Structure 1
Amino acid sequence: MSTDTTSQPPYTAEKPPLPETSDQLRARIPGWGADLDPADRPSYPRERFDPGATGAHWELPEQQEERWPRERSIEHARLTPVFGTSCPPKGLSGALRKYAYRRHSEAKAAHWLILLAADRVDMVESAVASAARGRPDNPIAETGIRAEISGHGLSSRLGRNRTDVGHHALDPIVVAGPWVAGAAGTAYLLRRVARHRRR
């Protein structure tokens, strides 16, 4: 399918024209057009632009105010009319997210891998910020360890024909690993600083 966005602006009521006719696509792609009959598509009523039935009163929604440069996929010619503002990008994690959207298509693994990395960086940034405010994270309460002890954790895992039994042994590593690694890294840095001051 063509990704050319210059022929028609995105996010309008009209469905954009296909780069090829239905007959051309059907001849080239086996099985293409299997859902052309509206009776085969439960979502069909939502695909029709019918202001009388839906109450829509615009060709293009009013553009929401952009208080800071928002990320958008490079496949899109413009920002969507409405977008979320609850989690503005910040710090190194925000810079990673902006880079992923600015440089990589959503069709590339690099786009998603960078966003995953940004999530992990954001987690570290949030933990450091909480500690700096005097309210450090509580791994005992926040990772479910307390519930494992007081909420029948072992009995809920055994003899229940659960499909996730295979990775139960990995759960402590996945949950505790980042905390242990963070504590070890902090201890190492503190030792290095103390050793440097003694010189």
Structure 2
Amino acid sequence: MPYTSWKPGNQPDPEELRARIPGWGADLDPADRPAFPREQPGIATGAHWEIPEQQPTRGGERERSVEHERLTPVFGTAQPLHGLSGRIRKYAYDRYSEGQAAHWLLLVVGDRVDSAGAHVKSLFSKTPDDPITQSGVLGERGRRPISSRLQPGRIDMKHTWLDPILVVGPWVLAGVLLFRLGRAIVLPARKRR
């Protein structure tokens, strides 16, 4: 099975849990389960296996959570791990349980690294990303973009100051780097004249 049966710590007995947690074990009695008639033996489901046959892995090893004894029978292949972001994600899967915040934070970091790489690749392509039209900023014209953000009771007010930095910051940084690179190439060429 994909999940291990090992459970750390002492397991409380059902009566103790029922006394401590209101509603615990509400579905233990089959009569209380709405899907119970379908769980009866002899009803044909069409499944001809206990566990589905294992999907073959192509192109290397797939990420597998530490909670799993083996790779799940079916998995996605559309986005294989690659580059630095792939190494970060692989580290998250190899080192941390899915119940730990570090696992998910590393996956987010891997996503951000992948996103930054895509933005850099876009800058050097024939059709670079356009931060004005593709960010939705122009869609806010005529819809009170400033006053609607300052209304009381908005949940996102705590991080509103950070949004321009995260959206525009990478573009400003890329522009500064390109300017310095261009300057480093042009100034020595002028001095040689």
Please name the residue that 2:115 is paired with. 123
SS at match of 1:52: coil
Please name the residue that 1:148 is paired with. 140
Residues 51 and 57, structure 1, Cα contact 8 Å, conserved in 2: no
- Cα deviation, 1:48-80, whole Å, max 9, x if unaligned, reads 586725332210011112113110101111011
Residues 89 and 107, structure 2, Cα contact 8 Å, conserved in 1: yes
Q: How does 1:175-194 map to 2 (within 5 A)?
A: 175-192=167-184
Matched, 1:137 2:114: no
Please name the residue that 1:84 is paired with. 76
Please name the residue that 2:16 is paired with. 27
**Pair 1:164–1:33, CA change in 2 (3 A):** closer
SS at match of 1:114: helix
Please name the residue that 2:51 is paired with. 60
CA displacement at 1:169 relative to structure 2: 4.9
Q: Distance in 1 between matches of 2:22 and 2:102?
A: 30
Q: Distance in 1 between matches of 2:181 and 2:160?
A: 32
**Pair 1:35–1:105, CA change in 2 (3 A):** same
**Pair 1:45–1:117, CA change in 2 (3 A):** farther
**TM-score, length-scaled by structure 2:** 0.71
Question: How many residues end up aligned between the 2 structures?
Answer: 185
**Pair 1:112–1:81, CA change in 2 (3 A):** same
CA displacement at 1:144 relative to structure 2: 0.9
- Computed over aligned residues only, the root mean square deviation of the Cα atoms, in angstroms, reads 4.0
**TM-score, length-scaled by structure 1:** 0.70
Q: Which protein is bigger by CA-based radius of gyration? A: 2
Please name the residue that 1:37 is paired with. 27
The runs of 5 or more residues in structure 1 that have no matched partner are 1-8
Q: Distance in 1 between matches of 2:171 and 2:42?
A: 54
Q: How does 1:103-114 map to 2 (within 5 A)?
A: 103-114=95-106
**Pair 1:88–1:18, CA change in 2 (3 A):** closer
Please name the residue that 2:86 is paired with. 94
- Cα deviation, 1:4-48, whole Å, max 9, x if unaligned, reads xxxxx337xxxx698999872543793287134356666x65995
CA displacement at 1:159 relative to structure 2: 9.1
Percent identity over the alignment is 44
Residues 27 and 33, structure 2, Cα contact 8 Å, conserved in 1: yes
SS at match of 1:139: coil
